[in-house]
């Protein structure tokens, strides 16, 4: 059994091309031309010609990595302006199979309207002027519909639909200890029923004791996998302060969590570090921290957030599905250099010379960076292995972020109400903490206005998920599709 | 109508009648005869040179050349003139379909919509045309 990764979900699209056949050759306010091009025969042939081009466009323009087209249909209607059942049936057969019905052609707002009104399925309409006409009409009566300028625009926007449906196929495994709200993350999303209703993300909770039992039930096969994973990590690292045996204690936890994800048919993960830490199981028995597991799951395309932060987990899920990059997440705080207080020195992340005297500097840090931050399908970034604890256990992977100075990044966090996302663009000005213990590895970066960012953080919270690149505009568009309010600086 | 234009149209019509006759006399297996004949037929209809037809075999592209010549435009600017109407039909598509319909009428054959859409090049035209004619013979 394997984990069914939602990031790989393919959007099922039913494409249809609508042609209009006039019953005879006539000119008037709706059509004009030479007699030969007003004939029924011309309409039939030009319809077939354009349908062929439509199919070629489906092949050439659309990204099949995330779109799966169901068989396309040529729908015909006449100047009686009635869509006959026989024609409509060509597309209604796909109800229940397609995530979106895509229309192009002539007067194609009408089949879109018919199928949307009758079956309440999402429709996408391409081109002038059916897209704006249909979507404005359908949205006015509360029906889900999308308009696209042309095929290129449709291809771009179908990625957002893929993210929307990938979210619907996401089920997070949450380890429960004491309270649903971890004590370090009061700003988490607490109304999970709303999250499931609005975004489709589902949650499965298991008690921490079930996790401890699973660790005890470690099988020879799991041990073999943990050994191999540990060896692969050690062999590909640039440096390590840990032995293979110590790293294997952390990969054991990763393998057990993977088996729990499989068992509960989940494909996202979070757990309350503080509360589970307080059981002393990590210290006395497992000799690991969850950090490496978060890192390795994210590298596989499985969202995995620290500290039972559902809010960060949702932000990570959205960002990961949109970008196919394995994000970092961490505590975030401004340096407040503008105010020049003694307390302006960084908390949690070592100070570095590059930030001295600079304004609008933010910091984000946690020991959960990944080697796939430039893309899950890209080559691995360079990294080292560092123990989380002073006692020398708890493998974490560390990246020297100072090598990424000047790179643009995008940070995201959900609002505790689950209905808004704060998205912020920054530029890395320094890396720090590669050789320190604990959570303290991360970045300093400049933003447009750190005071404004902090004001928004007071509404959104402290853990931010980030990836390389500028995704602000994409996230704004995605927000429209997901029904989320997007807040920017 | 201007006499000169009228004479040109008449001349083209006469040439076309001759071409239809010549093409009808090509044996079904004689691809060279059919290709040469249809090159002249298209040249006559689109008002483009045989040299143009030697360089470009795609009928839509040939229609674009025809439009560029009739509008005295360079080919680089053709997309400004090959405009879509309200139904998304370009001028070059229209010319291609009108060509197909003309062939149907001139040779008393009928292409299905699918066959018509699959004719992209002069060679495709000859292939589908030969198939139609051979079916008629059978």
Distance of residue B59 Cα from the nearest chain A Cα, in angstroms: 12
Name chain B contacts of A52, Cβ cutoff 8 Å: 117-118
A76-80, A364-368, A408-412: lowest mean pLDDT where?
A76-80
Residues 118-157 of A with CB under 8 A from B: 127
B89 with A48: Cβ contact below 8 A:
no
Q: Does A84 touch chain B (CB under 8 A)?
A: no
Q: Does A45 touch chain B (CB under 8 A)?
A: yes
- Does the pLDDT at position B77 exceed 50? yes
What tokens were used for B83?
A: 């405009």
Report which of residues B85 and A38 the model is more confident about: A38
Interface with chain A: mutation pick from B117, B125, B128, highest number of A CBs within 10 Å: B117
A45 with B97: Cβ contact below 8 A:
yes
Q: Does A44 touch chain B (CB under 8 A)?
A: yes
What tokens were used for B115?
A: 């066959």
pLDDT (tens digit per residue) in A142-188: 999 999 999 999 999 999 999 999 999 999 999 999 988 998 899 99
Count Cα neighbours of A405 within 13 Å in the Cβ-side half-sphere.
9
A37 with B87: Cβ contact below 8 A:
no
Kindly report the average pLDDT of chain A as a whole number: 94
Confidence of residue B99 (pLDDT cuts 50, 70, 90): very high
Alpha carbon of A191 to those of A179, A315, A316: distances in Å?
Answer: 14, 15, 18
Name chain B contacts of A20, Cβ cutoff 8 Å: 87
> What is the pLDDT averaged over residues A397-405?
95
B101 with A127: Cβ contact below 8 A:
no
Nearest in space to A328 (alpha carbons), one of A300, A368, A371: A368
Name chain B contacts of A42, Cβ cutoff 8 Å: 97-98, 101
Fold assignment, A6-166: Rossmann fold (3.40.50)
A48 with B117: Cβ contact below 8 A:
yes
- Does the pLDDT at position B126 exceed 50? yes
Measured CA to CA, the distance from residue A311 to residue A181 in angstroms comes to 11
Confidence of residue A82 (pLDDT cuts 50, 70, 90): confident
> What is the pLDDT averaged over residues A116-120?
94
Beta bridge partners of A420: A485
CB environment A185-217: b (16+ within 10 A), e (fewer): bebbbeebeebeeebbbbbeebebeebbebbee
Chain A residue nearest residue B114, CA to CA: A48
Predicted pLDDT of residue A342: 53
Residue whose entry in the numeric block shows the structure tokens 């083209």: B12
A59-68, A69-78, A295-304, B3-12: lowest mean pLDDT where?
B3-12
B101 with A20: Cβ contact below 8 A:
no
Predicted pLDDT of residue A340: 45
Nearest in space to A321 (alpha carbons), one of A471, A146, A102: A471
ipTM value, please give it.
0.88
Interface with chain A: mutation pick from B83, B95, B112, B113, highest number of A CBs within 10 Å: B113
- Does the pLDDT at position B138 exceed 60? no
Phi, psi of A268 (to 5 degrees): -155, 160
Residue A16: CB atoms within 10 Å = 25
A49 with B97: Cβ contact below 8 A:
yes
A108-112, A125-129, A341-345: lowest mean pLDDT where?
A341-345
**Nearest CB neighbour to A52, from listed B94, B98, B117:** B117
Confidence of residue B86 (pLDDT cuts 50, 70, 90): confident
- Does the pLDDT at position B137 exceed 60? no
> What is the pLDDT averaged over residues A211-238?
97
Name chain B contacts of A37, Cβ cutoff 8 Å: 94, 97-98
Interface with chain A: mutation pick from B59, B83, B87, B92, highest number of A CBs within 10 Å: B87
Predicted pLDDT of residue A344: 53
Do A152 and A61 form a contact (C-beta atoms < 8 A)? yes
B98 with A36: Cβ contact below 8 A:
yes
- Does the pLDDT at position B29 exceed 90? no
Percent of chain A with pLDDT over 70: 98
Measured CA to CA, the distance from residue A407 to residue A401 in angstroms comes to 10
DSSP letter for each residue of A194-206? HHHHHH--EEEEE
pLDDT (tens digit per residue) in A439-475: 889 999 999 999 999 999 999 999 999 999 999 999 9
DSSP letter for each residue of A69-117? EPPPEEEEEETT----HHHHHHHHTTTTT-SEEEEEESSTHHHHHHHHH
Q: Does A79 touch chain B (CB under 8 A)?
A: no
Name chain A contacts of B118, Cβ cutoff 8 Å: 52
Chain B residue nearest residue A36, CA to CA: B98
CA end-to-end span of chain B: 46
Name chain A contacts of B97, Cβ cutoff 8 Å: 37, 42, 45-46, 49
Report which of residues B29 and A324 the model is more confident about: A324
pLDDT (tens digit per residue) in A324-351: 999 999 999 998 654 445 555 567 788 8
**How do the domains of chain A map onto residue ranges?**
6-166, 170-487
Name chain A contacts of B94, Cβ cutoff 8 Å: 33, 37, 46
Percent of chain A with pLDDT over 90: 87
Predicted pLDDT of residue B114: 93
Do A103 and A130 form a contact (C-beta atoms < 8 A)? yes
Interface with chain A: mutation pick from B83, B97, B110, B112, highest number of A CBs within 10 Å: B97
Predicted pLDDT of residue B18: 94
Using DSSP's 3-state secondary structure scheme, residue A171 falls into strand
**How do the domains of chain B map onto residue ranges?**
3-133
């Amino acid at each position: 059994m394997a984990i069914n990764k939602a990031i790989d979900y393919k959007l099922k699209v039913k494409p249809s091309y609508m042609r209009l056949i006039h019953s005879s050759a006539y000119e008037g306010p709706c059509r004009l031309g030479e007699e030969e091009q007003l004939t029924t025969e011309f309409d039939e042939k030009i319809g077939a010609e354009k349908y062929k081009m439509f199919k070629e466009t489906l092949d050439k323009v659309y990204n099949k990595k995330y779109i799966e087209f169901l068989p396309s249909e040529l729908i015909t209607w006449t100047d009686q302006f009635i869509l006959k059942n026989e024609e409509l049936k060509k597309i209604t057969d796909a109800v229940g199979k397609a995530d979106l019905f895509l229309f192009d052609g002539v007067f194609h707002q009408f089949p879109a309207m018919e199928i949307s009104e009758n079956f309440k399925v999402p429709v996408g309409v391409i081109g002038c002027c059916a897209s704006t006409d249909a979507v404005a009409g359908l949205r006015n009566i509360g029906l889900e519909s999308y308009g696209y300028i042309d095929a290129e625009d449709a291809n771009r926007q179908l990625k957002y639909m893929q993210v929307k449906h990938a979210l619907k196929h996401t089920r997070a495994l949450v380890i429960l200890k004491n309270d649903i709200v971890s004590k370090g993350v009061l700003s988490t999303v607490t109304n999970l029923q709303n999250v499931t209703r609005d975004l489709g993300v589902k949650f499965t909770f298991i008690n921490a004791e079930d996790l401890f039992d699973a660790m005890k039930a470690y099988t020879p096969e799991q041990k073999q996998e943990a050994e191999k994973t540990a060896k692969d990590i050690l062999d590909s690292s640039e440096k390590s302060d840990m032995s293979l045996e110590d790293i294997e204690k952390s990969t054991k936890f990763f393998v057990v969590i993977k088996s729990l994800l499989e068992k509960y048919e989940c494909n996202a993960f979070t757990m309350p570090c503080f509360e589970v830490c307080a059981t002393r199981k990590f210290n006395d028995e497992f000799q690991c921290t969850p950090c490496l597991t978060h890192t390795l799951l994210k590298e596989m395309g499985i969202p995995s957030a620290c500290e039972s932060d559902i809010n960060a987990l949702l932000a990570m899920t959205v960002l990961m599905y949109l970008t196919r990059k394995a994000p970092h997440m961490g505590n975030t705080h401004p340096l407040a250099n503008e105010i020049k207080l003694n307390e302006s020195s960084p908390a949690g992340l070592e100070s570095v010379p590059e930030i001295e005297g600079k304004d609008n500097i933010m910091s984000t840090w946690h020991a959960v960076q990944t080697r796939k931050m430039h893309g899950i399908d890209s080559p691995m970034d360079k990294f080292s292995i560092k123990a989380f604890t002073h006692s020398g256990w708890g493998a974490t992977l560390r990246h020297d972020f100072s090598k990424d100075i000047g790179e643009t990044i995008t940070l995201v966090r959900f609002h505790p109400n689950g209905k808004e996302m704060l998205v912020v663009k920054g530029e890395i000005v320094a890396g720090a903490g590669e050789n320190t213990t604990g959570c303290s590895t991360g970045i300093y970066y400049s933003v447009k206005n750190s005071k404004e960012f902090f004001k928004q953080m007071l509404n959104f919270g402290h853990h931010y998920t980030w990836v390389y690149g500028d995704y602000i505009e994409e996230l704004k568009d995605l927000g429209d599709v997901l029904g989320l309010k997007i807040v920017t600086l | 109508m201007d006499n000169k234009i009228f004479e040109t149209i008449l001349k083209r019509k006469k040439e076309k009648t001759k071409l239809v006759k010549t093409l009808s006399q090509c044996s079904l297996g004689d691809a060279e005869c059919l290709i040469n004949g249809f090159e002249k037929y298209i040249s006559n209809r689109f008002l483009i040179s045989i040299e143009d037809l030697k360089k470009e075999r795609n009928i839509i592209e040939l229609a674009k050349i025809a439009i560029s010549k009739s509008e005295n435009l360079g080919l680089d600017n053709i997309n400004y003139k090959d405009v879509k109407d309200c139904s998304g039909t370009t001028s070059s598509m229209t010319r291609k379909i009108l060509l197909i319909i003309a062939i149907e009428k001139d040779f008393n054959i009928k292409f299905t919509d699918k066959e018509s859409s699959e004719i992209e090049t002069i060679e495709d035209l000859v292939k589908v045309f030969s198939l139609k004619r051979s079916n008629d013979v059978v």
